[in-house]
Amino acid sequence: MLNRRNFLKSGLTAGVAPLTSGLSHLDGLAEEAAATGVLVELPQRLAPSSASVPWQQKIRRVGQTNFNEYDPAVMNVDQWADYWHSVKADIVYVSVTGILAFYPSKVQFHRHGKYLKGRDLFGECVLAAKKRDMRVVARMSPDLNWPDALEAHPEWAMRNHDGSVQHSSEDPRLFKTCMFTSYMDDYVPAIMREVNSLYDVDCFYANGWPPLGNLPVCYCAVCSRLPPPGTPAYWSVFTDRVLNLWKRYDAIAKEKKPDSFFFANSGGNVRGGPNLDQLAKVTSWFQADNQGRTYEEPAIWGCSLQGRVCNAVLDGKVAANVTAAYSTGQPGWRNVSKSPAETRMWLNQTVASGMVPYIHFVGDENSFVEDRRWQKVGEEYFPWTAKHDAHLAGRRSIANIGVVIGQSTQLLYPGPATERSRTYMRETTEGMYHALLEGRVAFDYVHEDRLEPEQLAKYRALLLPNVAMLSDKQCRQLSDYVQAGGSLMASFETSLYDENLKPRDEFGLAEVMGVSKGGAAVGTNGNAYSARLEKPHEILAGFSDTTWIAGAQNRVPVKPVEGAVATVVPGFVRYPPELAYPAQPHTDEPAVVLRESGRSRTVWIPGDIERTYWITGHSDLLRLLHNAIRWVSHDERVVTVDGDGLMEVFCWETSPGYAVHLLNYNTPNAFHGWVKDASPVGPQRVTMRLPNGVSVKSVELLRSEQKPVFAFRNQTVQFTVPGVEEYEVAAITVA
């Protein structure tokens, strides 16, 4: 690993405030901190905010008991309301729905469930919540409806290619409604207006729409006239339709109260659904429907990852992540509690990543009579957050590395011709994320449609993990960023397609990265390619006793460059071993291309290194990624957390000061659910350099309720968190 001493030797600290200046008397503090990079001063603190914020931005805790058809027969409304009130929920979701009405709705096709029997369960719950000073979200569900509606309105259904109706895969009595039809124009507004006329609700939410992380595939009369499903042109009309309905529903919500609003289901992490940059501009609330780990996304950090996506686009608007206290996954049990440690971990990630914690269970009788285990999590967790709201509400993320999400690539790019796998970009995302956590890198996600200089100014480097689709404008913006002194790391097919998925003959970033495409993507037949080490360089630090290291599974060959530090040894057969040797042991094809100009540095890696790291766990790939990130960023750190274990770190500027969140992933269940018990990790030393004029009043550990000793000299604060069980928040109060 590269350390600070290497940097000093190579004279790379120009323009950086090195930790050593004036710190030599800090009893070894500087020397030790130096082992993990060059500590840079945090930006000047934001001015205290005097502007009044909309009510929803003050919401800190959300509760939801999701009603089922049977609940009206038995629900004890006071018991329900007392629970959520006792855990200090600010707002509760109450089901209106569009599939089964939970009040005596008169809207045609809004079916009364067989146990409703005229009961106004929705109205009772609204009153009970209001009596306890809790706000109410009116929860609708426009995605499915019944045969009588289909008979009267055959045009409302989603259709297969052969014209047949698409039904719910679990209950085929229900048909799927198409979002491009009059169902959304007429039926949903009718329900909203009826609810507004009868009840005092604070806002409206639509569950089950729009789809998350994928796009609808429908061949109804309306959709048949749209661009083909799954194409960039379809994504564009899909986003337009979503935003158009969103704004119309929002206006209907406001017909009764101007501070009411509409929002719908969101989430899908880096894939999203509608264009997230555009969605963020219209919504008042981001409902991150990301309820727990799944078979397809088994990594422990799934909720934090969603939080980072929200931070990339929301500009301080509220995001609430739905944590299922019931058993998520396939198979799942919607009425049986999951392991409390797993539920807590998801809540921890929600809070650490800047979202609002939200607990969800399905079925009132199921959750208040049958299985009450989940309640203890809420009883412990929510009041703890309430005690520390000031420290837990982040004002802005302190991070100096930006990772470009590439939402269009995530949604639309099929993977290289050598792979063509639906999971290709998911694996790329997970590999990059894992490597960043292993390196304890302070990073944010950056949306590809937010590459203006003012958005990028805070980042020392941007990372582009196979961001295949980039428009000419986005390539220009990245180039401008480099011209202005920023650094880039990019891999594989980055910029090889435009925003319409049209392949380019040459990388869109060819000039700024100093690379030129040398041929079509090459996959692996047996033994993957290797990288031959040609000359010493910081990016190859730590590779000893070898002349080559692992390459990646796929690569786009690039043309030879002057002085390549590593070259490609092409792959060959893995079996039989008699033939497992390189036919071409030495080529001039670069395995990495480096460029340096003034303060800016670029690294191009022609292989799909992030994804290959995810599927193999190869330590060469991790080391190369870490070295590359450290080199492009001049190893500048805004916060260092030194200690053992796999840990996710978030650092926020808060109103009282700063909050460093430490999520302990050092559990046998990090890559396959669920967390059963805490696996504590040992001491973690935190070091930050505060802006001039800011001093430290106190440091407090919010989970373990300790006050560690801290050192503060020459603007550098350092303290040690003695250990982390599941989660710790070091809250720094400044003066």
Give contact residues for Zn ion (rule: CB under 5 A): 178, 180, 218, 220, 223
Q: Which residue has the tokens 């979002």?
A: 179
The Cα 594–Cα 565 span in angstroms is: 8
Closest to 417 in 3D by CA, of 514, 492, 478, 367 = 492
Q: How far is the CB of 287 from Zn ion (least distance, A)?
A: 23
Q: How far is the CB of 248 from Zn ion (least distance, A)?
A: 18
Interior/surface letters 114-127, b for 16+ CB within 10 angstroms, e for the rest: ebbeebbbbbbbbb
The Cα 515–Cα 109 span in angstroms is: 60
Q: How far is the CB of 501 from Zn ion (least distance, A)?
A: 22
Q: State the CB neighbour count (10 A cutoff) for residue 31.
A: 15
DSSP H or E segment with residue 443: strand 443-446
Residue 183 or 719 having the CB closest to Zn ion: 183
Residue 177 or 366 having the CB closest to Zn ion: 177
Q: How far is the CB of 644 from Zn ion (least distance, A)?
A: 53
Closest to 566 in 3D by CA, of 486, 621, 485 = 621
Residue 59 or 223 having the CB closest to Zn ion: 223
Residue 102 or 180 having the CB closest to Zn ion: 180
Structure tokens at 373: 């285990």
The Cα 704–Cα 727 span in angstroms is: 9
Residue 166 or 530 having the CB closest to Zn ion: 166
Residue 180 or 613 having the CB closest to Zn ion: 180
Residue 211 or 656 having the CB closest to Zn ion: 211
The Cα 75–Cα 33 span in angstroms is: 57
The Cα 38–Cα 594 span in angstroms is: 21
Question: What is the pairing mode between strands 696-701 and 727-734?
Answer: antiparallel
User: Based on the number of CB atoms within 10 Å of its own CB, is 564 exposed (0-12), middle (13-18) or buried (19 or more)?
Assistant: buried
Closest to 629 in 3D by CA, of 494, 432, 493, 485 = 432
Residue 183 or 326 having the CB closest to Zn ion: 183
Residue 178 or 351 having the CB closest to Zn ion: 178
The Cα 466–Cα 405 span in angstroms is: 10
Q: How far is the CB of 223 from Zn ion (least distance, A)?
A: 3
Q: How far is the CB of 279 from Zn ion (least distance, A)?
A: 21
Residue 73 or 217 having the CB closest to Zn ion: 217
Residue 107 or 220 having the CB closest to Zn ion: 220
Q: How far is the CB of 657 from Zn ion (least distance, A)?
A: 52
Residue 3 or 160 having the CB closest to Zn ion: 160
Q: How far is the CB of 214 from Zn ion (least distance, A)?
A: 15
Q: How far is the CB of 444 from Zn ion (least distance, A)?
A: 37
Q: How far is the CB of 228 from Zn ion (least distance, A)?
A: 13
Q: How far is the CB of 354 from Zn ion (least distance, A)?
A: 36
How many residues does this entry show for the chain?
A: 735
Residue 218 or 509 having the CB closest to Zn ion: 218
Q: Which residue has the tokens 């719910």?
A: 168
Q: How far is the CB of 158 from Zn ion (least distance, A)?
A: 5
Q: How far is the CB of 229 from Zn ion (least distance, A)?
A: 10
Residues 6+ apart with CB under 8 A from 670: 299, 300, 646
The Cα 355–Cα 347 span in angstroms is: 9
Residue 209 or 572 having the CB closest to Zn ion: 209
User: Based on the number of CB atoms within 10 Å of its own CB, is 258 exposed (0-12), middle (13-18) or buried (19 or more)?
Assistant: exposed
The Cα 118–Cα 347 span in angstroms is: 37
Cα 295 from chain centre? 18
Q: How far is the CB of 184 from Zn ion (least distance, A)?
A: 10
For the chain, the distance separating the N- and C-terminal CA atoms, rounded to the nearest angstrom, is 36
Q: How far is the CB of 46 from Zn ion (least distance, A)?
A: 46
Residues 6+ apart with CB under 8 A from 400: 40, 442, 458, 459, 460, 461, 633, 636, 637, 638
Question: What is the pairing mode between strands 461-464 and 394-397?
Answer: unpaired
The Cα 240–Cα 694 span in angstroms is: 46
The Cα 304–Cα 353 span in angstroms is: 5
Amino acid identity for residue 221 in this structure: A
DSSP string, 495-528: TSB-TT-PBPSS-TTHHHHT--B-SS-B--SSB-
Residue 167 or 532 having the CB closest to Zn ion: 167
